[in-house]
Amino acid sequence: MPPEIRAVGIEGLPEVQAGDDLAAQIMDAADAQGTPVEAGDVVVVTQKIVSKAEGRVMTIDEVEASPLAIAITEGHRRDPRHTEMILRESRRVVRMDRGVIISETYHGYICANAGIDASNIPGSDSICLLPVDPDASARRIRDSIRERLGVDVAVLVSDTFGRPWRNGAINVSIGVAGFNPVISYIGEFDPHGNELHTTTIAVADELAATAELVTGKLLGVPVALVKGYPYEPMENADSRDIVRDPDKDLFR
Amino acid sequence: MPPEIRAVGIEGLPEVQAGDDLAAQIMDAADAQGTPVEAGDVVVVTQKIVSKAEGRVMTIDEVEASPLAIAITEGHRRDPRHTEMILRESRRVVRMDRGVIISETYHGYICANAGIDASNIPGSDSICLLPVDPDASARRIRDSIRERLGVDVAVLVSDTFGRPWRNGAINVSIGVAGFNPVISYIGEFDPHGNELHTTTIAVADELAATAELVTGKLLGVPVALVKGYPYEPMENADSRDIVRDPDKDLFR
């Protein structure tokens, strides 16, 4: 059989509220549309609903903008209090220019605006922060699925990141559970007998990208199941494996 | 019906030689395994076999390394003549350190080693260069499919690129035909009525990433069909749309 995978978007989830049991909502919605969660699935959950369930939506009314936040935002569309929260969620600014902030989050991710945005949430003064520990978020969902269905799955939390040099954002992984996010071919040989010296592939990011093709931005489809992908099971999966060591990064 | 896509790897292609009719080989192999190319498919072809068919494999015996190529390579595994070809295929060096060369190719892509590598080709002195015009490569395959099958498909040439900040390479698009590689949500509204100001998604890169999950590096599966993805048809698709304008790039 040729290698084949299938990605299915899960529709019909309710508007997620703080404290919701996201895993139950996902399993229920998947059942309702006739594509249940099954052993070996990769369950890809977009960050926004994870943050909502974990109470990471806030209003900026309560925030006081610092002089730096006001200075950066001057002449740009963003509210300085929103900018202030970007600074507070950053542990290092990588670039700051023309209203754009590229920073390193406390997780180690380098992205625009510390992953904070205001789309797909109710209320014009609301913003949504990244989950505090996306691996723990993924683990909780995985554990709930195992508990209810008695099967092992992989879970990943995805977010939409821009990149240098290329137009258009793509979805990447920010949290993983149950599988190896970066597989290695180092020391293996290609069909011509050439040893592969350096190839590692961030399959977690490729799975996140795959899922985006069925979740989109406007579809109200915040979860996808990727079926048929032979992931490498890993009980102690850790997203730090996908964060490049500063010593090996030429673009710090 | 929930949104759903399927990615199928195409096995059984012959070892591609310069001058081969790649489109015919792809259609034949897809037929032979019972997953024929169909209208609306995205045909994802890995760069290596495109380069092989176009005669872009060369031996380094004929190359003379410049002093710079020798200096860069000193103490590293790569042959200085291989390094010389990386310099010749680059129009600008972005970073050069510890044996790593990140440069801008003549297509405008910023990647390691100008996209040149030595894996999955016969001969230990051989290297493989990127196609001269990957959009033209994609167009030729698309035209051949239309001619033989009478259907419209999207075609994408993929390659494996590393990225700053994140471990592991992922597949991205380096050539497109028949579809819009970067879709825009700018000016659209999310389900909560928030206007999306800046979101564009590089669906070509997400499709390339999807395909990598079934082609892999060692499987001898150099082509994938992505079925069910509602791409935006575009007759004059141009990969320059995916190259970030230097004025908007903070990581030149």
For chain A, the average pLDDT equals 94
Contact between B225 and B35 (Cβ < 8 Å): yes
To the nearest whole Å, the CA of A226 is away from the closest chain B CA by 9
The answer to whether the Cβ–Cβ distance between B220 and A181 falls below 8 Å is: no
* ipTM exceeding 0.90, yes/no: yes
pLDDT band at A218 (very low <50, low <70, confident <90, very high): confident
Read off the pLDDT of each residue in A15-39 and give the average, rounded to a whole number: 97
pLDDT value at position A154? 98
- Full pLDDT tens readout for chain B, 252 residues: 899 999 999 999 999 999 999 999 999 999 999 999 999 999 999 999 999 999 999 999 989 999 999 999 999 888 999 999 999 999 999 999 888 899 999 999 999 999 998 887 887 789 999 999 999 999 999 999 999 999 999 999 999 999 999 999 999 999 999 999 999 988 888 777 877 766 899 999 999 999 999 998 777 899 999 999 999 999 999 999 999 998 889 998
Q: Which residues contact A88 (CB under 8 A, 6 or more apart)?
A: none
Contact between A129 and A56 (Cβ < 8 Å): yes
- Name every chain B residue with its beta carbon within 8 A of the beta carbon of A102: 250
The answer to whether the Cβ–Cβ distance between B210 and A206 falls below 8 Å is: yes
pLDDT value at position A118? 85
pLDDT value at position A198? 67
To the nearest whole Å, the CA of A139 is away from the closest chain B CA by 21
Q: Which residues contact A192 (CB under 8 A, 6 or more apart)?
A: B120, B121, B122, B123
B6-55+131-240 sits in which CATH class? alpha beta
The answer to whether the Cβ–Cβ distance between A169 and B35 falls below 8 Å is: no
Please say if the pLDDT value at position A194 is more than 80: no
Q: What does residue A214 show for φ and ψ, rounded to 5 degrees?
A: -110, -15
pLDDT value at position B195? 78
Which H/E stretch holds residue B4? strand B4-10
CA distance A227 to A213: 14
Q: Which of B26, B120, B213 best probes binding to A when mutated, by most A CB atoms within 10 angstroms?
A: B213
pLDDT value at position B197? 67
Q: Check CB contact of A200 with chain B, cutoff 8 Å.
A: yes
Read off the pLDDT of each residue in A80-98 and give the average, rounded to a whole number: 95
Q: Which residue has the tokens 């019906």?
A: B1
Write the residue in A171, A215, A217 that is nearest to B196 by C-beta: A217
Q: Check CB contact of A190 with chain B, cutoff 8 Å.
A: yes
Residue A173's nearest CA partner among A200, A212, A146 is: A212
What is the amino acid identity at position A77? R
Q: Which DSSP letter does residue B68 get?
A: H
pLDDT value at position A61? 94
Please say if the pLDDT value at position A197 is more than 70: no
Q: Which residue of A has its CA nearest to B242?
A: A167
Read off the pLDDT of each residue in A35-45 and give the average, rounded to a whole number: 98
Overall size of chain B counted in residues: 252
Cα atoms found within 13 Å of the Cα of residue A56, Cβ hemisphere only:
22
For chain A, which residues make up each domain, given as ranges? 6-55+131-239, 58-127
- Name every chain B residue with its beta carbon within 8 A of the beta carbon of A163: 163
A6-55+131-239 sits in which CATH class? alpha beta
**pLDDT per residue as tens digits for the range A46-73:** 999 999 999 999 999 989 999 999 999 9
pLDDT value at position B113? 95
Q: Which residues pair with A192 in a beta bridge?
A: none
Residue A42's nearest CA partner among A188, A175, A159, A239 is: A175
Q: Which DSSP letter does residue B132 get?
A: S
- Name every chain B residue with its beta carbon within 8 A of the beta carbon of A166: 172, 202, 205, 242-244
CATH fold for the domain made of B58-127: CofE-like fold (3.90.1660)
Write the residue in B4, B95, B110 that is nearest to A7 by C-beta: B4
pLDDT band at A35 (very low <50, low <70, confident <90, very high): very high
Q: Which of B5, B31, B72 best probes binding to A when mutated, by most A CB atoms within 10 angstroms?
A: B5
Percent with pLDDT over 70 in chain A: 99
Overall size of chain A counted in residues: 252
Q: Check CB contact of A30 with chain B, cutoff 8 Å.
A: no
CA distance A22 to A145: 10
**Of the given ranges (A13-27, A128-142, B119-133), which has the lowest mean pLDDT?**
B119-133
Cα atoms found within 13 Å of the Cα of residue A53, Cβ hemisphere only:
23
